[in-house]
Amino acid sequence: MDSLIETVELVKHFPVEKSILERMFSRTKRFVHAVDNVNLKIARGEVLSLVGESGSGKTTTGKLILKLIEPTSGRIFFNGNEITKTKGESMRVLRKKMQYVYQDPYASLNPKMKIGDAVRHPLEVHELYGKDERRKRALEALSAVGLTPPENYYSLYPHQLSGGQRQRVAIARAMITRPEFVIADEPVSMIDVSLRASILDLMMNLKKELNLTYLFITHDLAVAKYISNRIYIMYLGEIVEVGETKEVFHAPLHPYTKALLSAIPIPKPTREVKPIPIKGEISSTINVPSGCRFHPRCPYAFDRCSNVKPLLKQTKESHQVACLLYD
Interval 297-319: pLDDT, tens: 999 999 999 999 999 999 988 89
Per-residue pLDDT at 267 exceeds 70: no
Q: Is 155 inside a domain boundary?
A: no
3-state SS, 260-298, equals: HHHCCCCCCCCCCCCCCCCCCCCCCCCCCCCCCCCCCCC
pLDDT mean over 274-288: 83
Q: Is 272 inside a domain boundary?
A: yes
DSSP 96: T
pLDDT bin (cut points 50, 70, 90) of residue 240 is very high
Higher pLDDT, residue 127 or 276: 127
Q: What is the pLDDT of residue 291?
A: 95
Per-residue pLDDT at 23 exceeds 70: no
Q: What is the pLDDT of residue 208?
A: 93
pLDDT bin (cut points 50, 70, 90) of residue 193 is confident
Q: Is 18 inside a domain boundary?
A: yes
- Of the chain, the percentage scoring pLDDT greater than 70 comes to 94
Q: What is the pLDDT of residue 270?
A: 58
Q: What is the pLDDT of residue 195?
A: 81
Q: Is 121 inside a domain boundary?
A: no
Q: What is the pLDDT of residue 325?
A: 93
- Percentages helix, strand, coil for the chain, rounded to the nearest 5? 35, 25, 40
Per-residue pLDDT at 275 exceeds 80: no
pLDDT bin (cut points 50, 70, 90) of residue 272 is low
Q: Is 298 inside a domain boundary?
A: yes
Q: What is the pLDDT of residue 271?
A: 56
pLDDT bin (cut points 50, 70, 90) of residue 273 is low
- Of the chain, the percentage scoring pLDDT greater than 90 comes to 72
pLDDT in tens, 249-266: 999 999 999 999 987 776
Q: What is the pLDDT of residue 16?
A: 85
3-state SS, 227-238, equals: HCCEEEEEECCE
Ordered strands of the 319-321 beta sheet:
98-101, 181-185, 213-218, 47-51, 230-235, 238-244, 319-321, 313-316
Decide if 293 contacts 279 (C-beta within 8 A): no
> Distance (Å, rounded) from C-alpha 135 to C-alpha 98?
22
CB neighbours of 129 closer than 8 A, spacing ≥ 6? 123, 137
Decide if 10 contacts 36 (C-beta within 8 A): no
Q: Is 70 inside a domain boundary?
A: yes
Per-residue pLDDT at 241 exceeds 60: yes
Per-residue pLDDT at 293 exceeds 70: yes
Residue span of the structural domain in which 57 resides: 3-97+179-326
R_g over Cα of the chain = 21
pLDDT in tens, 144-157: 999 999 999 999 99
Give the mean pLDDT of the chain.
Answer: 90
Q: Is 166 inside a domain boundary?
A: no
pLDDT mean over 6-23: 85
Per-residue pLDDT at 268 exceeds 70: no
> Distance (Å, rounded) from C-alpha 150 to C-alpha 301?
56
Q: Is 37 inside a domain boundary?
A: yes
pTM for the whole structure: 0.91
Q: What is the pLDDT of residue 269?
A: 58
pLDDT in tens, 40-74: 999 999 999 999 998 899 999 999 999 999 999 99
Per-residue pLDDT at 189 exceeds 90: no
CATH number, residue 280:
3.40.50.300
Structural domain total, the chain? 1
